[in-house]
Structure formats: C-alpha cells, structure tokens
Amino acid sequence: MAKHPEAQVPAIHHRKVGDITVTSVSDGFLDGSMAVIQNIAPEDAVRILQGAYRPVPRRTAVNTFLIRSGDRVALVDTGCGTAMSPTGGKLFANLAAAGVAPEEIDTVLLTHMHPDHSNGLSKDGKRLFPNAELVMHAQELAHWHDDVQMAKSDEVGRQRNFQASRDQVAPYADRTRTFTGGEVFPGVTAMPLPGHTPGHTGYVIASGNQQLFIWGDIIHLPEIQIQHPEVTMAFDVDPVQAAATRARIFDMVATDGLAVAGMHMHFPGLLHLAKRQGGYTLIHDGWYPAM
C-alpha cells in the first residue's frame, strides 16, 4: 500500500532582489479567537473568511525572512518559539532545511517585540542565535521596558508581552543595537510603522533596481483588512495610529507598485497591492522555479 505523506515539505521560498537573496521561512501558524478583530461586525468578519474559504475561527500565518547580503546573513523576526502553540515554532526546522545554522546568522532584525515575533530569540536565558547582534527601533525596546506602561496592562499582557519580551532580549543585552531609521544592514533600510506597537518597523531591501518591502504586521488577516483597512486588532497598542499607518502604506505600496513581504500573509508571504474600484486588490506573487 502506498504510504501517504504526514507533513508538508519544508516551508522555505527564495527570492532574488538584485544581488540580495531573501528567503521566506515559515514558523507555522496560530489559530485564535475572532474576538480580537475590532471595528467590524463579528458576523461580517465570519462571512468574509468563509467566503474566502478560510478557517473560522481565524488562522494566522507566521513568517520570518532570511536576508543574505554579500557575506552577511540577517533574520527578520524569530517566530513563536515554544511557548505559544504546537502549530508555531517551526523556524529552526525550516532554517535547517534552508541550509542555515543559527550560528551563521550575524544579525536579527525585529519588526517588533510581540511574542510571535520575538519568542524565538532565546530559551532558558540562552541566546538561540549565539553570534547575532539584535537590532530594533529604539522606541520598541523602550516601550516593553517601561514599567509605567507595563502596570497599565492586564495580567496576561504583563506576562505574555512585557515580561516575555524582557526575558527574550536579556541574553542579548551586550549585543543590542537600536535605531530610529536609516540603513540597518547592508542593502536594508528601516521604515518606522508606528501604531501596532510604538516601534513597529518595516524593512526595505534594495539592490540594483529591485526592491522588496517587509512590512511586518501591517495586516494580520489579509482577506478582511485589505477590503477593510479600518479593521484593527485587540493587540494594536494604538489602534487609531495602526489604521492610519496601514492606510498610508497601502497607498504607497499600490501607487509605487512595490513588492511586499508580510509576516502574516499566507506563505510565502509575497504580494502586490493594486488600486481597484476605490479599494485595493491583493495579488499574490507566483512561484518561480528560476532564481
């Protein structure tokens, strides 16, 4: 009898941006409550997801991106680690499939410090990327170390976001670099995208005449938020600013025809946006066998 496969092939996908190679590396996915979707009627959110043949309750992809620039290797975000869900935390297995050992990564760029982006930094007080410099926006590091802000959060937020973030970055204390903008890695420029968190940041990768914009958590649920950019999430630190940033970035990406990579887009997370009939249409990038 033929043996049926029990798992997908490793979730990695390469894309060239001039002389830079960007590799989408899946960390898996998270299933979660519909209650976190805000500024839309619950029945409308369900209808949109069902109409797109997506799971209800919501399912959110978690992507990371590997950047090879010259002889340098950076990783953008580190996924869920082992503390969130058994469907997440696949980063290290997929890095191995991509032929990259954690020791080879010299820079970890964070879009922000929510647990599905930073929980893969360390474990039991030890760096999981032993040779990496940790790089993020200055306001991001400051926010999650602000005791006043921590005290305003509920107990879940204090432990899952504030304390977990502090624990994750502590082993990198002597090798952490912050920025407010500019080039942060060869060929990679930071673009602050405040709202989802105070230091939420995207990264524009440019080489030759090609660009790719890693936009972090501009959206979490593409089927809903591309139709309705006003929809926010309960874990947006400043939902009004997050929606305004999303509207601005949608217009920029669609106007400029900029290729995008997203942490919560369906793997491999590569897309374009086009303006259509007063709104936006998502165009997924095709799979190209040639590098």
For residue range 158-207, what is the model confidence (pLDDT) as tens digits?
999 999 999 999 999 999 999 999 999 999 999 999 999 999 999 999 99
Residue 264 CB-density burial (10 A; 0-12 exposed, 13-18 middle, 19+ buried) = buried
Question: Which strands, in side-by-side order, build the sheet including 133-137?
Answer: 12-17, 20-31, 59-69, 72-76, 107-109, 133-137, 176-179
Q: Is there a domain that residue 5 lies in?
A: no
Q: Is the pLDDT of residue 220 over 90?
A: yes
Q: Tens digits of per-residue pLDDT, 25-66?
A: 999 999 999 999 999 999 999 999 999 999 999 999 999 999
Instruction: Kindly tell me the number of DSSP H helices and DSSP E strands found in the chain.
Output: 9, 18
Residue 252 counted as domain residue: yes
Q: Assess whether pLDDT exceeds 90 at residue 83.
A: no
- Give the largest CA-CA distance in the chain: 63
Q: 3-state DSSP call for residue 142? A: helix
Instruction: Give the chain's radius of gyration (CA, Å).
Output: 18
The count of domains in the chain is: 1
The reply to whether 291 falls in a domain is no
The pLDDT confidence band at residue 223, using thresholds 50, 70 and 90, is very high
Q: End-to-end distance of the chain based on CA atoms, in angstroms? A: 37
Q: Which residues of 221-251 are buried (b: 16+ CB within 10 A; e: fewer)?
A: bbbbbbbbbebbbebbbbbebbbebbeebbe
Q: CATH code at 145?
A: 3.60.15.10
The mean per-residue pLDDT over the stretch 231-252 comes to 98
pLDDT recorded at residue 286: 85
Residue 84: name the closest of 185, 192, 161 by CA: 161
Residue 166 lies in a domain: yes
Secondary element (H or E) of residue 96: helix 91-97
Percent of the chain residues topping a pLDDT of 70 = 100
pLDDT band at 290 (very low <50, low <70, confident <90, very high): confident
Task: Give the confidence band of 287 by pLDDT, cuts at 50, 70, 90.
Answer: confident
**CA 111 remoteness from chain centre:** 7
How sure is the predictor about 112, in pLDDT bands with cuts at 50, 70 and 90?
A: very high
The answer to whether residue 95 scores a pLDDT higher than 90 is yes
Quick one: pLDDT band at residue 288, thresholds 50, 70, 90?
confident
Residues 100-123, mean pLDDT to the nearest whole number:
98
* Mean pLDDT of all residues in 130-146: 98
The mean pLDDT of 96-107, rounded to a whole number, is 97
In a domain, 289, yes or no: no
pLDDT for res 103: 98
The 3-state secondary structure of 236-260 reads: CCCHHHHHHHHHHHHHHHHHHCCCE
| pLDDT-derived band at 1, boundaries 50, 70, 90 | confident
201 within 8 A of 111, measured Cβ to Cβ = yes
Residue 147 in tokens: 């005791």
Q: Is residue 170 part of a domain?
A: yes
Residue 7 domain flag:
no
Q: What is the mean pLDDT of residues 105-114?
A: 98
Show the domain range for 274.
12-284
When pLDDT is averaged across residues 117-130 and rounded to a whole number, the result is: 98
Rounded CA-CA distance 259/272 in Å is: 5
Is 290 contained in some domain?
no
pLDDT at position 291 over 80:
no
